[in-house]
Structure 1
Amino acid sequence: MAEDSDQEKTEQPTSKRLEEAQRQGQIARSRELNTFAMLIASAMLLLMLGESMGNRLVDLMRKQFQLRREVLFDPLSLLVYLKQALIDGALVIAPIVAVMVAVAIAAPLALGGWVFSWEAVAPKLEKLDPVKGIARIFSLHGLSELIKALLKIVLIFGVAILLSRHFLGELVGLGIEPVDRSIAHALQIVGQCFLILSASLILVVMIDVPYQLWDHNRKLKMTLQEIKDEMKETEGKPEIKARQRRIQMEMAQNRMMAEVPKADVVVTNPTHYAVALKYDQNANGAPVLVAKGVDLIAAQIRSLASGSNVPLVASPPLARALYYSTEIDREIPKGLYLAVAQVLAYVYQLKTARANRWAEPIPPANIQVPDEFERNG
């Protein structure tokens, strides 16, 4: 097993490995994609509702700064106004908060799906190991996180400088605009800057998403020995499967042998093949093959038939045809009706003769079998 642990993980993960990983909460995730989706959604909402939000904020401030004298000196009234101000402020930002929550829930569906696993949230003492923590910091994952953080800082800083230069004149001009117009204009500038800054993160997302998919697949890759062990666990060890098949065959053979004494006739080769047939005259169906075998099993069938006074009829072509064309507990094919009818007619004559102690009839000879049923043993 030491050699197995040194094998390189070069094989793609199996479906069972992927299912186990998903059950444990190990799926491809991109925090950058989730953050990008939330920022873009909130920025677009701010652009659409910025003016109305600004007007509502102005109304809220006017309302709170125009309190009457008796209200200012009444502690209970101040608490009522403060509560109402908090409610009004929450209603102003509620649309953005609601959209961000909805996007935060829906964004994971774009990569890996939405999965909740108790195993993933269960506390693990190994995560508190400082040695493993340092190893994670200096691992490939830690290096990728550092590169992404530096890229985001440089990207956002560069875009922010360009935006500040572009909107500098408008920002300075806000001071000479009316208050209502100034707040609405300011929110519009903020929304545009917010949207452009958020959109710039698409570069980080385009790098992070393929990397997360590749890294997730790399972690789940398997060695050849792991695949072999999984196949053994799934399908069972060869020796166990062979033993199960042997037991099943023995059980099926025992059930088959139990039907031989109930048969009406056994058609033999006479040495290599033996086929037991049963016919219910009260039913509308054809004769049914209840047992068949070759060599040793055929000998057992003949022995059981002889011990149970079941007639034996030697007809090599018919025995082979029945053996190869009919499964156990199935009716014989239509092409063999005539041949089997000759055998059953002989059997009924034989039973009648034995019951009345008459001379036994001559067994049928040269029973013809259609060419399509002619097969060599």
Structure 2
Amino acid sequence: MSESGNEDRTEAPSEKRLREARERGDSPRSKELANVAVLGCATLALKATGPHIGAASRDWMRNALQIEPGLIGHPDRLTAYAGKTAAALVMPLAPLMLATIAGCFVAPALMSGLRFSSSALKADFTRLSPAAGLSRMYGRESFAELARSVLRLLLIGGIAAIVIKGSMGRLMDMPSQSLEMAVANGVDAVLRVFLALVMAMGVLAAIDAPYQRFAWRAKLKMTKQEVRDEARESEGNPEIKARARHVAREMANKRMMDAVPTADVVLVNPTHYAVALKYEAGAMRAPKVVAKGVDEMALRIRELAGQNKVTLVEAPPLARALYRQCKVDEEIPVKLYAAVAQVLTYLFQLKKWHPARGPMPQLVQVDVGADGAPDAANGAGA
């Protein structure tokens, strides 16, 4: 069985997949919500501007039925007069038309937010496939749409018929009414029908909108392999990541080697470990590890220290403790202060020593206990 079949798409779509779908113009859409939004905005606008539209329509009809004296004998003025008459009818209806246009943006905003996708404007010739067309016509979604259409027709048609039947008496009296009253009653009847339709379509939209969102997410479900591929893609190629880590290590090692000549002392194991320390009184709270390494790296640190006349001190327990507990460019921990202080004191005494003053100072071996502190049985050499 193919792993990409719909029956294997059991994983919820990732945020990346949903975002890519929206970017190419594939978003959840509800025709019922769009219809009720457009009709609802138009109904609200009609209710707000109904009296104005009725009065303007009455005046427009009165003017349109009158003969314009200036047109007699001047047929060339007829085009301009027709345009002026049409504009006089459009202006009162402008708020209604603008509200209807605004309603077109309500449904997309509620379903997925307003987004513009240039991908949706590109030609897609796969839509011209007869096989795809037949699958859409006779597929499961087409039968669902047919069922929704029948339900829409029965519900909306039935409610509209009930409302019109209730207003039939007022509509039958319109021929005997004055023009103003007839227009007002006509607008009121239309408004009643629209309100009833909005409520009926609102019920359909309340059912259809969640279903369309569910169907859209179900369509974008992923297979387990697609989830793994996307995770691999988002995390990056393992080979590239390994190469990046290698480059980062090389750069860190180069920075360490550049810092070794500036160190005050290099503690060694004597062969397996090497840790370079630097301390600037007043600028640092405690000595800082500027380089460290084992085996080959330790050898390179010792060689570089020898070339730059940096003092090498054999202190195996302390060198191992500093290597394990400290990072490069990090101050030594408090529990190693006393042990490192013994080494720095020895260096200070060594720099001040002169053969005329007696034998060369010697560093007593510093034993670092389990807690990192020097063994109380040992002291610093003088």
Specify the alignment match of 2:380 in structure 1: none
Q: Does the 8 Å CA contact 1:259/1:291 hold for their aligned counterparts?
A: yes
Is 47-56 or 249-258 further displaced after alignment?
249-258
Q: How does 1:86-235 map to 2 (within 5 A)?
A: 86-235=86-235
Shift of residue 158 of structure 1? 1.2
Q: Does the 8 Å CA contact 1:335/1:370 hold for their aligned counterparts?
A: no
- Partners of 1:295 and 1:186 in 2: how far apart? 98
Shift in CA distance, 22/357, structure 1 to aligned 2, threshold 3 Å: farther
Is 332-341 or 193-202 further displaced after alignment?
332-341
Is 223-232 or 59-68 further displaced after alignment?
59-68
Shift in CA distance, 55/3, structure 1 to aligned 2, threshold 3 Å: closer
Q: Residue by residue, what CA displacement relative to the aligned partner does 1:136-172 show, whole Å, maximum 9, x if unpaired? A: 2222322222222222111222112212321111111
- Partners of 1:284 and 1:46 in 2: how far apart? 78
Specify the alignment match of 1:331 in structure 2: 331
- Partners of 2:340 and 2:137 in 1: how far apart? 82
Q: Does the 8 Å CA contact 2:335/2:373 hold for their aligned counterparts?
A: no
Counterpart amino acid of 1:183? V
In the alignment, structure 1 residue 362 sits paired with structure 2 residue 355 = no
Gaps of 5+ in 1: none
Partner secondary structure for residue 48 of structure 2: helix
Q: Residue by residue, what CA displacement relative to the aligned partner does 1:195-235 show, whole Å, maximum 9, x if unpaired? A: 21232112321221122111110111100101111112121
Shift of residue 359 of structure 1? 7.0
Shift of residue 187 of structure 1? 1.0
- TM-score of the two chains, using structure 2 as the length reference: 0.87
Shift of residue 338 of structure 1? 4.3
Specify the alignment match of 2:379 in structure 1: none
CA RMSD of aligned residues (A): 2.8
Specify the alignment match of 1:244 in structure 2: 244
Shift of residue 249 of structure 1? 2.0
Counterpart amino acid of 1:127? R
- Partners of 2:367 and 2:212 in 1: how far apart? 73
Counterpart amino acid of 1:247? V
Shift in CA distance, 70/124, structure 1 to aligned 2, threshold 3 Å: closer
Aligned residues: 373
Counterpart amino acid of 1:14? S
Shift of residue 303 of structure 1? 4.2
Partner secondary structure for residue 8 of structure 2: coil
- Partners of 1:158 and 1:360 in 2: how far apart? 116
Shift of residue 257 of structure 1? 3.0
- Partners of 2:359 and 2:278 in 1: how far apart? 21
- Partners of 2:162 and 2:100 in 1: how far apart? 27
Gaps of 5+ in 2: 375-382
Counterpart amino acid of 2:10? T
- Partners of 1:358 and 1:262 in 2: how far apart? 29
Q: Does the 8 Å CA contact 1:260/1:276 hold for their aligned counterparts?
A: yes
Shift in CA distance, 374/220, structure 1 to aligned 2, threshold 3 Å: farther
Counterpart amino acid of 2:293? G
Q: Residue by residue, what CA displacement relative to the aligned partner does 1:108-150 show, whole Å, maximum 9, x if unpaired? A: 1111111111111100111111121111222232222222222
Specify the alignment match of 2:65 in structure 1: 65
Counterpart amino acid of 1:228? R
Q: How does 1:14-93 map to 2 (within 5 A)?
A: 14-93=14-93
- Partners of 1:143 and 1:99 in 2: how far apart? 33
Specify the alignment match of 1:315 in structure 2: 315
Shift of residue 5 of structure 1? 3.1
Partner secondary structure for residue 4 of structure 1: coil
Counterpart amino acid of 1:312? L
Specify the alignment match of 2:378 in structure 1: none
Partner secondary structure for residue 208 of structure 1: helix
Shift of residue 343 of structure 1? 1.6
Shift of residue 371 of structure 1? 7.2
- TM-score of the two chains, using structure 1 as the length reference: 0.88
Q: Residue by residue, what CA displacement relative to the aligned partner does 1:25-46 show, whole Å, maximum 9, x if unpaired? A: 1111112211111101212222
Partner secondary structure for residue 104 of structure 2: helix
Partner secondary structure for residue 114 of structure 1: coil
Shift of residue 246 of structure 1? 3.0
Partner secondary structure for residue 123 of structure 1: coil
Partner secondary structure for residue 29 of structure 1: coil
Is 122-131 or 244-253 further displaced after alignment?
244-253
- Partners of 1:229 and 1:159 in 2: how far apart? 52
Shift of residue 240 of structure 1? 3.5
Q: Does the 8 Å CA contact 1:42/1:100 hold for their aligned counterparts?
A: yes
Shift of residue 50 of structure 1? 2.0
Shift of residue 254 of structure 1? 3.4
Shift of residue 370 of structure 1? 8.5
Q: How does 1:249-268 map to 2 (within 5 A)?
A: 249-268=249-268
- Partners of 1:194 and 1:112 in 2: how far apart? 27
Is 194-203 or 232-241 further displaced after alignment?
232-241
Is 149-158 or 91-100 further displaced after alignment?
149-158
Partner secondary structure for residue 134 of structure 2: helix
In the alignment, structure 1 residue 297 sits paired with structure 2 residue 290 = no
Q: Does the 8 Å CA contact 2:160/2:196 hold for their aligned counterparts?
A: no
Partner secondary structure for residue 12 of structure 1: coil
